[in-house]
Amino acid sequence: MATFLYRLGRFSFRKRHFVALFWVALLALAGAGAAGAPAAGNSSFSIPGTEAQKAFDLLDERFPGASADGATARVVFKAPDGQKMTDPGNKAAVQDTVDELSGGTEVAQVTDPYQGGGVSQDGTTAYASVTYKVPGMELEETSREALQAAAEDARDSGLTVEIGGDALQAVPETGSAEIIGIGVAAVVLVITLGSLLAAGLPLLTAIVGVGIGVATITALASTLDLGSTTSILASMIGLAVGIDYALFVVSRYRAELAEGREREEAAGRAVGTAGSAVVFAGLTVVIALVGLSVVNIPMLTKMGVAAAGTVAVAVLIALTLIPAVLGYAGRRVRPAGEKSKLLGGGRAKDKADRPNMGTRWASFVVRRPLAVLLLGIVGLGAAAVPAGSLELGLPDDGSQPTSTTQRRAYDLLSDGFGPGFNGPLVVVVDAQGSDDPQAVFQQAGDEIKALDNVVNVAPAAPNEAGDTATIAVIPDAKPSSVATEDLVHDIRAVGADIKDGTGAEVLVTGATAMNIDVSQKLNDALVPYLVLVVGLAFLLLIVVFRSILVPLKAALGFLLSVLAALGAVVAVYQWGWLSGLMGVEETGPIMSMMPIFMVGVVFGLAMDYEVFLVTRIREAHVHGEKPSQAVVTGFRYSARVVTAAAVIMIAVFSGFIGSSDSMVKMIGFGLAIAVLFDAFVVRMAIVPAVLALLGAKAWWLPKWLDRALPNVDVEGESLAAHDSAAGKDDEDKELVRA
């Protein structure tokens, strides 16, 4: 591995024009594809194998033309104080709005509130339901403008009018904080590398990699049904790892220059050593992201595969484009310890014998490993406590900021019709095999009415064939409540009894039922996912480190950091701690997909730091140093760079907290805090403490396994042999000349 990458690094350095042209052409090709592709919409959300999805599919089959997946809007009207919605003037304004909306070319149906029971009991609130023929993200802008114009006309009559539903759903924005994150990364790179040019290289190559990845996702978005969130998450992860991977290679290149090597040789050795770590670190991230497919939720699978593709591009760029641009930079990238004239006068390092911060910290940990280990575990354990109160859910208009019309419509409906009105359940009764479908519909409705926590059960609405009907059920509690979840289970229990007695099938769907099924599916998949991902990565790390205990320690450390990160997410987004600082306007359940997605990404990133840090320690140990001294040596060469890489990742992820999309916002915070815990507590404190306590036992490997494992040579031992051989050849040549 090291020899191959060494040759690849030298080739890329030497043939830099060809390599640079290849990546520029690839970026241009992806950009052209993205420019000509349709805009990305919301990925179709489906959860195969669940009752809610089965009912949804049945609706599509038995109610053709009903636009089951079409966009919806609820135009909510509230009368001025002292008036009723049934007053002639207000009623006329609502009727004008309904007529205006009915003329839309993409509108499938508009329900008149005075004919469909859309007026509250106190008469102060009413709503009109609008169903469209196409999904929300596929609506023409003219349809959205017509919806907003109709609401504005009604406001002119003195009514309070707000619009809920997904018809006004927009592509999420990340906000200016993302730019701030990149700015922080740039400052950290300048401080770490001591040169504006050297700092610019990781940023440049990372942006190229993210550009290729995001442009490719955009180009394929319509064909592969990739949602707009997919490209945002891919850019988040791709930018973070792209900068980090490039930073590790550039840092190693400068270290090789400091040892007196020629620039092409230094580039080759940087790719052969740090590049090997990049390959295996990237593999762990890719395994973790692609492994999300075991959950069998298509949207999650697509997000994982798309992000994994961007990570793969980042790895390839670090191995090829970085040495190429180092070739262009020439002597302007200085050896480690030297600064540019702008930042330090161009003078050489003058404190070579003084131990750096990494050396001093590692020496402290090696002297007091047990105290550091216990303190780290207790601290992360305390941070993980809130995770025990984790509640999962899917976002609805109630989680929107109060400044949005969707949230205001949600609140008006809750006040006028009750909290459960925003989460209606749709019961689908399939009586195709029954002798008397109408009697089955009536029985289902009556038994559901008798359940607790039910406010209203609408009459059954059969299809044209008369063999299938829908029954709308309004719960007494809000959609995300435990009472509503219990009601869904109660309805399904009633359905099981009806099926036993009549053969008819009763299915529950709707956003609330979908949420319950998603949460259950994710809970069921979490253990198999962890076994698969952690198992594969464990085997990979055994190959890298040629040890059993080091990979085991890496996996356990990851569990600590991810639990602590989940605890922080619960504390902020569910409990409301520091919610104002994080821009959280509404607390509530954590998004169902958040834990498993965060587990996947954090595992990959955690293994990044494990590989980069521990390979340096193992390299020192392989070259003859005692275990405790190897820890100190590893930290002397890698702690500064790993710290910088972690700060950069935290800055990039934190930038996405400013997103308008609640899922992106939450994932940005979760990943940032997870990197903070993993890099600075687990990898910088717990890892050296454990290695110091284990001593030489840390690198124990059964002899039979040692013989069976392939030698990937991450530490670059073959390059040391190459140096020896080169030195011997030079000596022979000198003897011949003599």
pLDDT in tens, 234-273: 887 888 888 888 888 988 888 888 888 899 999 998 898 8
678-to-214, 587, 646, 694 alpha-carbon distances in Å: 27, 26, 9, 20
Whether 419 has a pLDDT exceeding 70, the answer reads yes
Q: What would the mean pLDDT of 642-663 be, rounded to a whole number?
A: 80
How far apart are the C-alpha atoms of 311 and 212, rounded to whole Å?
A: 11
Side-chain-side CA neighbours of residue 555 (13 Å): 19
Residue 729: the pLDDT is 45
Going by their DSSP bridges, the two strands 454-457 and 468-475 should be labelled as antiparallel
> Are 56 and 67 within 8 A, CB to CB?
no
Whether 458 has a pLDDT exceeding 90, the answer reads no
How far apart are the C-alpha atoms of 613 and 638, rounded to whole Å?
A: 6
How far apart are the C-alpha atoms of 182 and 318, rounded to whole Å?
A: 18
Bridge partners of 132, per DSSP, are: 107
Q: What would the mean pLDDT of 206-216 be, rounded to a whole number?
A: 88
Would you tell me the crossing angle of helices 298-329 and 594-622 to the nearest 10 degrees?
40
Whether 705 has a pLDDT exceeding 90, the answer reads no
Task: Render pLDDT for 258-315 as a digit per residue (tens, 0 to 9).
Answer: 888 899 999 998 898 888 888 888 888 888 888 888 888 887 888 888 888 999 999 9
Whether 181 has a pLDDT exceeding 80, the answer reads no
How far apart are the C-alpha atoms of 623 and 615, rounded to whole Å?
A: 12
Q: Which helix (H) or strand (E) holds 518?
A: helix 511-545
Confidence of residue 61 (pLDDT cuts 50, 70, 90): confident
Confidence of residue 392 (pLDDT cuts 50, 70, 90): confident
Residue 736: the pLDDT is 40
Highest mean pLDDT among 89-93, 164-168, 169-173, 664-668: 89-93
Whether 488 has a pLDDT exceeding 70, the answer reads yes
> Are 95 and 112 within 8 A, CB to CB?
yes
Selection from 593, 592, 573, 594 nearest residue 584 by Cα: 573
Residue 727: the pLDDT is 45
Please state which of the ranges 173-177, 365-369, 622-626, 667-671 shows the lowest mean pLDDT.
173-177
Whether 21 has a pLDDT exceeding 90, the answer reads yes
Percent of the chain clearing pLDDT 90 (strictly above): 24
Whether 737 has a pLDDT exceeding 70, the answer reads no
Helix, strand, coil proportions of the chain in percent (round to 5)?
70, 10, 25
Task: Render pLDDT for 459-479 as a digit per residue (tens, 0 to 9).
Answer: 888 888 888 999 989 898 888
Bridge partners of 429, per DSSP, are: 469, 506
Q: What would the mean pLDDT of 682-703 be, rounded to a whole number?
A: 90
Output the six-digit token pair for 111. Answer: 């329900």
Residues constituting the chain: 738
Q: What would the mean pLDDT of 100-116 be, rounded to a whole number?
A: 86
For the chain, first and last CA: distance in Å?
A: 38
Whether 172 has a pLDDT exceeding 90, the answer reads no
Q: What would the mean pLDDT of 531-548 be, rounded to a whole number?
A: 82
Confidence of residue 175 (pLDDT cuts 50, 70, 90): low
Q: What would the mean pLDDT of 638-666 be, rounded to a whole number?
A: 80
How far apart are the C-alpha atoms of 524 and 543, rounded to whole Å?
A: 30
> Are 5 and 716 within 8 A, CB to CB?
no
Residue 155: the pLDDT is 93
Q: Which helix (H) or strand (E) holds 246?
A: helix 228-258
Q: What would the mean pLDDT of 127-156 be, rounded to a whole number?
A: 85
Whether 381 has a pLDDT exceeding 90, the answer reads yes
Residue 356: the pLDDT is 80
Whether 225 has a pLDDT exceeding 80, the answer reads no
> What value does the mean pLDDT of the chain take?
83
Q: What is the dihedral of CA 328, 330, 332, 338, to 10 degrees?
A: 140
Bridge partners of 507, per DSSP, are: 428
How far apart are the C-alpha atoms of 244 and 673, rounded to whole Å?
A: 17
Percent of the chain clearing pLDDT 70 (strictly above): 89
Q: What would the mean pLDDT of 97-126 be, rounded to a whole number?
A: 87
**Residue 722, C-beta contacts closer than 8 angstroms, at least 6 positions apart:** 3, 6
- Using DSSP, state whether 72 is helix, strand or coil: strand
> Are 429 and 422 within 8 A, CB to CB?
no
Q: What would the mean pLDDT of 510-529 be, rounded to a whole number?
A: 82
Residue 85: the pLDDT is 92
Residue 622: the pLDDT is 77
Going by their DSSP bridges, the two strands 425-430 and 505-509 should be labelled as antiparallel
Residue 566: the pLDDT is 92
Confidence of residue 228 (pLDDT cuts 50, 70, 90): low
Highest mean pLDDT among 184-188, 565-569, 705-709: 565-569
Q: What would the mean pLDDT of 489-513 be, rounded to a whole number?
A: 88
Selection from 99, 118, 120 nearest residue 110 by Cα: 99
Residue 220: the pLDDT is 80
Whether 65 has a pLDDT exceeding 60, the answer reads yes
Task: Render pLDDT for 70-80 as a digit per residue (tens, 0 to 9).
Answer: 778 889 999 99
Residue 735: the pLDDT is 35
pTM over 0.85: no
Output the six-digit token pair for 117. Answer: 């029971």
